Amino acid sequence: MSIQLFDLTGRLALVTGSSQGIGYSLALGLGKAGARVVLNGRDAEKLADAQARLADQGVAAEVAAFDVTDHIAVQRGVDEIEANTGAIDILVNNAGIQRRAPLEDYSVETWHELMRTNLDSVFYVGQAVARHMIARKRGKIINIASLQSEAARYSIAPYTASKGAVKNLTKGMCTDWARHGLQINAIGPGYFATPLNQALIENPEFDAWLKNRTPAGRWGNVEELQGACIFLASEAASFVNGQVLYVDGGVLATL
């Protein structure tokens, strides 16, 4: 197998929620593999900072600020990228939030906020981009699922529900769009050191539990997700479709 199968030179990748954390790391990895990158988020200042940090590492990126929970804004944003920046070859649906609370106390408003961000956005952006990809008969969509697509933990039942839905939406996208030449897969991260998990990282009891629970014995580093993303975005994954690739240090492999 040639290393050229993993070369993304000339491809254009849109990564949602990419001003920090996992999204930023995936944008960096795709850029290092040769792709042109478009960063997305709602905060223009954070996006500009991320763009500058990528430039410092030799990755040139464009910025597209729009709200992925607003389907009209998504359609306009995607169409603008297609018209002014280029055809989107790779989409990474990464935008997501976490809101922890016991399920019996979880507010309806927070439930809808979480679902809009974690699930609705995957449909909105996926559909908007896929319409262009279908016309071209090619494209890669990578949804960010989670370890919690398979397993629950106290106080995050709505998050678990949203990521379980992302897993099955990935399968549904494959079922509808593979016939048009698209590959749609997901990455399921385990526990990674990100701003989303900062409260857990700083909790000594949880930190000890997580390290004991994970066969690898540690938190993941966001850079360790780049290889999975590059693989699924590349020609090396040309017949991989509707799958979730879990990158979790072995958590799901063991009781």
Query: Are 122 and 93 within 8 A, CB to CB?
Result: yes
Q: How far apart are CA 51 and CA 55, in angstroms?
A: 6
Place of tokens 């540690």: 218
Instruction: For the beta carbon of residue 205, count every other beta carbon within 10 angstroms.
Output: 8
Closest alpha carbon to 212 in 251, 253, 154, 160: 251
Query: Do you know the residue count of the chain?
Result: 255
The residue type at 95 = A
Which residues on adjacent β-strands are paired with residue 12?
36
Q: State the Cα angle at 247 between 242 and 250, rounded to 5°.
A: 120
Report which DSSP code applies to 104: G
Does 159 participate in catalysis according to the annotation? yes
Token readout for 253 is 């492999």
Query: Are 25 and 104 within 8 A, CB to CB?
Result: no
Active-site residue, selected from the candidate residues 24, 124, 159, 191: 159
Query: Are 81 and 88 within 8 A, CB to CB?
Result: yes
So which residues are the catalytic ones? 159
